Amino acid sequence: MRDRFGLAFRLEFYTPEELTAIVTRSAQVLKVNISVDGAGEIARRSRGTPRLANRLLKRVRDFAEVKHRGIVDTDVADSALKLLEVDQMGLDQMDRRILSCIVEKFSGGPVGIETLSMAVGEEAETVEDVYEPFLVQIGFLQRTSSGRKATVQAYRHLGIAPPAGTQGNLL
């Protein structure tokens, strides 16, 4: 695409504030009764991506309609997202599987993408294109020439003590 159009653009993840506005607007279109705080909770866990924010909004809406008379506030959004296994940082089950695999099976790394993808049961291209960018962006994963490494923040997020002697953010 870069060669075809002759322009190079750098796309950034959306901020939580931008995503809150998007979720609020989408909730109006979908006729979802949502509080600003509820929209913010969904936005914070949307990995900086409007498409994901809208998908999570629809799942939270479904949960709210069945369990909470269709009203989405912070507690309802939090309960629904926990049920969907989306944690406070926006990591889903596969994100945590990738990090846990690096930490537990490969001693924090480095581990090559092909080996990692086989270990988690996901295509290497999907790991690289879907999961890695966010994990790198939030500082949980480091891509090096020798492979992927988990950072100290990743260990802490998983509730695992980092190896002794680690300093700062990197192992």
- The structural domains of the chain, ordered by start, are 16-83 (1.10.8.60), 93-158 (1.10.10.10)
- What phi and psi values does residue 33 have, to the nearest 5 degrees? -80, 105
Each residue of 97-144: pLDDT tens digit? 999 999 999 999 999 999 999 999 999 999 999 999 999 999 999 999
- What phi and psi values does residue 67 have, to the nearest 5 degrees? -105, -20
Residue 167, Cα to own-chain centre: how many angstroms? 25
pLDDT score recorded for residue 163? 85
Q: Residue 169 — very low, low, confident or very high, per pLDDT cuts 50/70/90? A: low
Q: How far is CA 85 from CA 36, 88, 93, in A?
A: 22, 10, 6
The answer to whether the CB of 52 falls within 8 A of the CB of 18 is: no
Q: How far is CA 26 from CA 19, 34, 36, 80, 132, in A?
A: 10, 10, 12, 18, 27
DSSP E strand stretches across the chain: 33-34, 71-72, 141-144, 147-150
Give the mean model confidence (pLDDT) for residues 51-63.
97
pTM: 0.83
